[in-house]
Structures are given as structure tokens and as C-alpha cells.
Structure 1
Amino acid sequence: MRITNLALILVMSIASGPLMAETTAGQIRKAAVAFLQAFATEQAGQGYTVTFEPGAIDSRLALAECAAPLEVQFSGDPWKTTSPSLLVACEGERPWRMFVTASLSIKGPALVAARPLTRGERITEALLMSHSVEVNASRRGVITDPRQAVGMEVRRSVNAGSLITPDILSAPDAVARGDHVIITARSGNFSVRSRGKALASASIGEQVLVENLRSSRTIKANVVGPGQVEIPM
């Protein structure tokens, strides 16, 4: 009887086949480290120093074997957080996805105020200086190119040495209320110009109400430059 039972167990074992291969926590961590290292190397070429450490992964984790190399990418913007999440995915016959946290520090040059700035002040190159900071510690982003800040206006007071972030800058008005403007009505390569008066203030890219001085009609136009507005024909 015991021999019969043993034979049955052996038959069932053979029929079930070998155990399925698994993707281990160690393999997932290795893929995450390789991805972060590649990111660090890429940014080093741009003048940034990147340090990182993948978060802990449960050693008991076992997912389906992946025939293809694991794919890793940031699930958000790594330039705006020091704790980004990585999406690790297998796109094989038995696909799966999981998130891995990481600690990430990106240090490099960014623009700071060379002296205290007051609200409404127009930015010049003399008011800016470059300083090494932890770029991704600012959720509001940073500005690294002076051309993105010069000519802009300060929306609120800024202390000397403070980061220049996009949210504290605004484009100056290209058209002020009461200004005389040139209205261009355009259709393809054909255009007609007339004079008008702005009924509000607006910056380039915004819309503004304009009174056509010839017809006395009020129209809505797009601001395309200082004293210049445009409408479609």
C-alpha cells in the first residue's frame, strides 16, 4: 500500500513539471541601480552631480520570470523631488509592473538673486548669479539659463541668495491700458493694419480688448509684441 501511494506521489510530481522561474527582489534592485547610474552618468555630462539610493525591496518578493530585460523609468519628474518613484516593468509573456522608491539628489548650478529684489523690478543679468544647489529639492523648479529670466518682472520680494524660480517671475506687459497699438488683421500672407487703443493691459501671448480707432469697434486681439496686436481675418 505504501509503495502504491509513493508511486502516485511521484506521478503527480512529474506531471506538475518544474517550479516556475521567478524574478527576485535582488534582480529588481539591480535593474533600478543600473537605471539610476545611467541617469547619473548622463547628468554628469551636463554639469550635475547625482547621488542616489534605491529604497528597500521586500526580499520575499517573487514575480513572474521576465524573458526580456526589465524596463525602468521615473514615474514622475525627478527634477522636482528628492524621493522619486521608479516604475519597474516586465513586458514579456507574463507582464507585471511595480514601483520602487528611491532617494535622489541632483546638485548643480542654478540662478539665485545677487541682491534683494523688490516686487515689480525688471530682471537684468547683473541681478543674477549662478550657485550650486540641490536642484530637485525645489518643487517649484529652478532656472539655469539667464535668458529665461532677463526681462521678466519679479512678482514678489526676494532675498539675496534666494533661488529664482519660475513662479516668482512674470512677463511684463507688452500693452498697457490706454496705449495706442497697431492692429494687424492677418490671413495667410495677406494682412491689413490699422490703429487702435488698448482697453486693458496684457503681456505677449495674452488676449486683450482693443478699440479700433477708425471704426470705433471693440475687438478681442492677441498680443504679439510691444504695442502690437493681431486678429485673424
Structure 2
Amino acid sequence: MRTLLFLTLSLFPSASIFAEQATTASDIQQMAERFLQTWADKQQQLNRRIEYQIGNVDRRLKLAPCEGEPELSFVSDPLRTPSPSILISCAGERPWRMYATASVEIYGSAIVAARPLTRGERLTSAALTTSEVQLNASRRGTLTDMQTIQGMMIRRPVKTGTVLTPDLLEAPDAIERGDHVIIVARSGSFSVSSRGKALGNASIGEQVLVENLRSARTLKATVVAPGRVEIPMQ
């Protein structure tokens, strides 16, 4: 009987072997560190400076050993938050998933106001400059390309040095009340054009009432370009 008991027990690894093979808090910490460092190296190629720190992992953590390479990914966009979570998952016979927290600061060049800007002011390069800022300090995002915001309008007054964010800008009106416009009635690839007059202000993508100068009918059209609107063909 004792021989049988010995053989049965010998089929199972001891608790100490399981402990040696387990994925520990230290392993999780190292995985997250490598993941963030690789990501930080890529950001450096974009002229961004990264400072990060992995959150504490419970030292009592014991997970099954990972048979293959674990997969790591951001749960939230680190460019939008300084506290992104990292999902670490492992497939296999005993799969597991867990989350690690991190503190991430991303520094890079962004557009800021070179002087006070007033509501409704159209942006020019003279009113703007660039400065190194923490890009993920705000969930509203930052702007980095001067060319894409030239001619945009400021929604509300801002002070010198304010980091410009997308919500501070709006597209100028492409059509103003009284403007003569081209009305395009379109159905697939076929279209017919006529002349009209705008009865309100609107930017590209917005709808506006226009008067057809030939028929005197009032139509609701979508602005597709300065001086040009479209309606679906009836």
C-alpha cells in the first residue's frame, strides 16, 4: 500500500515546483516594463519624450505559467490619458488575463497661441507658435500641424501660451447669407446644376436653405465646397 501511495503522489509536481513555474508579480512587472520601453522607443522616433512608471502589482499574485509569448496592449489611448491601463493576456491550456496600471507622460511639440486670440478670429501662422508640452495632459488632444488649421476660427478667447485643442477651433463659413451658389442635384454619377442664393450661413458639411433662382423654390442643401451645395435628385 505504501508503494502505491508513493507512486500516486509522484505523478503530481510538488507545490514548490508550481511556485517556481508560476507567473509572479515580478514577471508581470517586467512584461509591462518591456512593453512600455518598446513603445517609448517608437515614440522617440516621432520626436516625443516619454516618462513612465508601472503601478504596483500585488506581490501575492500567482498565475499559471505562460506557455507562449504573452500579448500586451493598451486598453486606453496613452495619447489621451496619463494613466493608461495595459492588458496582459496569455493563451494556452490555462489562459489568464490581467491588467497593469501605468503612469505615462508624453512630451512633444504642439501648437500654442503666440498671443491672445479673440473669439471668431481666423488663425494665421503669425498668431501661432510651437512649444514642448505634455501631449496627454488633456483628453481633448493637441494639434501639431500648422497647415491643417490655417484659416480656422477660434470658438472662444484664449490667452498667450494656451495649448490649442480641436474643440477650440471651428471651420469658417463656406457660404454666407446672400451669396450666389451653384446648386447640384445629384443621383449617382448623374447631376444637374442650377444657380441659387444662400438664405443663411453654413460651413462645409452643414445644411443651409437656398433659393433656386430659376424656380424660386426654397431647398435644403448640404454645403460641399465654398459657393457649392448639393441636394439629392428627386
TM-score w.r.t. structure 2 length?
0.91
Measure how far apart 1:183 and its partner are.
0.5
The equivalent residue for 1:13 is: 9
The equivalent residue for 1:95 is: 95
Measure how far apart 1:59 and its partner are.
1.4
Aligned partners of 1:93, 1:150: CA distance in 2, in Å?
56
The equivalent residue for 1:23 is: 23
The worse-fitting range, judged by mean Cα deviation, of 12-21 and 56-65 is 12-21
Aligned partners of 1:232, 1:165: CA distance in 2, in Å?
35
The equivalent residue for 1:57 is: 57
- For residue 79 of structure 2, give the secondary structure of its aligned residue in structure 1: helix
Identity percentage over the alignment? 55
The worse-fitting range, judged by mean Cα deviation, of 113-122 and 201-210 is 201-210
Alignment of structure 1 residues 1-233 onto 2, 5 Å:
9-17=5-13, 20=18, 21-233=21-233
- For residue 27 of structure 1, give the secondary structure of its aligned residue in structure 2: helix
Structure 2: which 5+ residue stretches go unaligned? none
Measure how far apart 1:17 and its partner are.
4.6
Aligned partners of 1:118, 1:97: CA distance in 2, in Å?
50
- For residue 109 of structure 1, give the secondary structure of its aligned residue in structure 2: strand
Structure 1: which 5+ residue stretches go unaligned? none
RMSD, aligned CA:
1.8
Deviations 1:56-95 (A, max 9, x none): 1011111122111111111011011111111111123322
Aligned partners of 2:160, 2:5: CA distance in 1, in Å?
79
Aligned partners of 1:129, 1:107: CA distance in 2, in Å?
16
Measure how far apart 1:164 and its partner are.
0.7
- For residue 136 of structure 2, give the secondary structure of its aligned residue in structure 1: helix
Measure how far apart 1:188 and its partner are.
4.2
Q: Which amino acid aligns with 1:36?
A: L
Measure how far apart 1:8 and its partner are.
6.4
TM-score w.r.t. structure 1 length?
0.91
Q: Which amino acid aligns with 1:192?
A: V
Q: Which amino acid aligns with 1:10?
A: F
- For residue 200 of structure 1, give the secondary structure of its aligned residue in structure 2: coil
Measure how far apart 1:105 and its partner are.
0.9
Aligned partners of 1:120, 1:166: CA distance in 2, in Å?
15
- For residue 215 of structure 1, give the secondary structure of its aligned residue in structure 2: coil
Aligned partners of 1:25, 1:9: CA distance in 2, in Å?
35
